[in-house]
């Protein structure tokens, strides 16, 4: 099956103190055929690998932060949704990110590359390494015809960044320490099928429409509304950011419209698999970091990684 993913680009971001009063909006990830993606079962278990967390958090702190990030998207904290994300603590150090029906959250500490690494035998031309500026990458596997999400894996960049609790310990904020709960909350938005709420220019599929049927806003627009730039699903952050831990009204509208609250208890969850299961179409989303924070106008390196079929074009694209 075709694999799709993302590219690398750089752009200038303007944070304008501007609010348009527009209707709340969100953008859904779509398949290559344009079908919006979603889980069939709104109860989603994710295996969190705690065997050797990177500095600065302990395993217990990683687990607690993960539970809170999952609760932020889930019923009953969000009363209007059916989503229930659940964490399963795993004692091992790490795991592969692949289409195996087993959703994982892992830290990459040795190399900031997809593991298991793509190989020529598997039909990949991409070496599978991510941009250093990417804090984390979420890979989604879905049925391209129905849009059903089949598997979602989150990989955290512990090669270029340390991970801490910048709310509980603000003194940890350094040039290389990011807030784990903040980043995970954003990545979990991708897990449930949300895309970024504005268009960066990097998407090969072009600009998607938002839920109101109009083209997504331009992330580079100096008049980008606050409600978009402050959304958890906004595509880049300053390293000290912690505000994405909490959903914005736009994020909440998305999780409630895609998964309205209809079940009082979870349907029976699907079974787990292993990394030897054959892969289906997948895509990956990388969340970049905005270094040097605090300025109203700043340069952002947005890293988005794309898995390609062998011989696929185009190559990397910059803007």
> Which spans of this chain sit near Zn ion (rule: CB under 5 A)?
285, 287
Taking the least distance from each CB to Zn ion, the nearer of 146 and 160 is 160
Shortest Cβ 157–Zn ion spacing (Å): 13
Taking the least distance from each CB to Zn ion, the nearer of 50 and 238 is 238
Taking the least distance from each CB to Zn ion, the nearer of 50 and 69 is 69
Nearest to 73 by CA among 185, 151, 237: 185
Length of the chain: 319
Shortest Cβ 155–Zn ion spacing (Å): 13
Taking the least distance from each CB to Zn ion, the nearer of 142 and 285 is 285
> What are the tokens at 178?
């990011």
Shortest Cβ 1–Zn ion spacing (Å): 23
Shortest Cβ 316–Zn ion spacing (Å): 18
Q: Strand, helix or coil at 112?
A: coil
**221, burial (CB in 10 Å: exposed 0-12, middle 13-18, buried 19+):** middle
Cis peptide before 146 (omega within 30 of 0): no
Taking the least distance from each CB to Zn ion, the nearer of 3 and 285 is 285
| Residue 72 contacts residue 251 (beta carbons within 8 Å) | no
Taking the least distance from each CB to Zn ion, the nearer of 50 and 307 is 307
Rg of the chain, C-alpha, whole Å: 18
Taking the least distance from each CB to Zn ion, the nearer of 50 and 134 is 134
Taking the least distance from each CB to Zn ion, the nearer of 3 and 50 is 3
Shortest Cβ 103–Zn ion spacing (Å): 17
In angstroms, the CA 26 to CA 314 distance is 28
In angstroms, the CA 102 to CA 200 distance is 30
Shortest Cβ 165–Zn ion spacing (Å): 21
Shortest Cβ 267–Zn ion spacing (Å): 28
Shortest Cβ 290–Zn ion spacing (Å): 13
């Amino acid at each position: 099956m075709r694999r799709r993913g993302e590219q690398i680009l750089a752009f200038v971001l303007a944070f304008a103190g501007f609010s348009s009063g527009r209707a709340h909006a969100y953008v859904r990830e779509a398949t290559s055929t344009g079908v919006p993606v979603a889980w069939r079962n709104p109860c989603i278990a994710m295996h969190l690998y705690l065997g050797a967390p990177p500095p600065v958090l302990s395993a217990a702190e990683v687990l607690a932060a993960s539970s809170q990030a999952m609760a932020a998207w889930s019923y009953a904290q969000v009363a209007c949704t059916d989503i229930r994300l659940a964490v399963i603590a795993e004692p091992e150090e790490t795991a592969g990110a692949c289409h195996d029906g087993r959703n994982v959250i892992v830290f990459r500490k040795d190399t900031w590359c997809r593991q298991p690494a793509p190989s020529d035998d598997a039909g990949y031309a991409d070496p599978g390494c991510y941009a250093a500026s990417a804090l984390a990458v979420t890979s989604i596997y879905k049925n391209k015809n129905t849009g059903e999400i089949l598997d979602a894996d989150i990989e955290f960049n512990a090669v270029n960044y340390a991970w801490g609790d910048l709310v509980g310990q603000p003194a940890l904020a350094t040039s290389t320490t990011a807030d784990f709960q903040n980043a995970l909350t954003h990545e979990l938005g991708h897990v449930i099928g949300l895309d970024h709420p504005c268009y960066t220019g990097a998407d090969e599929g072009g600009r998607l429409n938002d839920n109101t049927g109009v083209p997504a806003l331009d992330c580079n627009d100096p008049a980008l509304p606050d409600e978009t730039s402050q959304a958890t699903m906004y595509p880049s952050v300053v390293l000290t950011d912690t505000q994405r831990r909490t959903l914005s009204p736009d994020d909440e509208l998305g999780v409630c419209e895609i998964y309205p609250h209809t079940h009082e208890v979870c349907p029976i969850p699907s079974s787990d698999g292993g990394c030897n299961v054959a892969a289906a179409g997948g895509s990956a989303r990388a969340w970049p970091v905005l270094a040097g924070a605090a300025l109203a106008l700043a340069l952002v390196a947005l890293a988005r990684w794309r898995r390609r079929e062998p011989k696929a074009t185009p190559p990397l694209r910059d803007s």
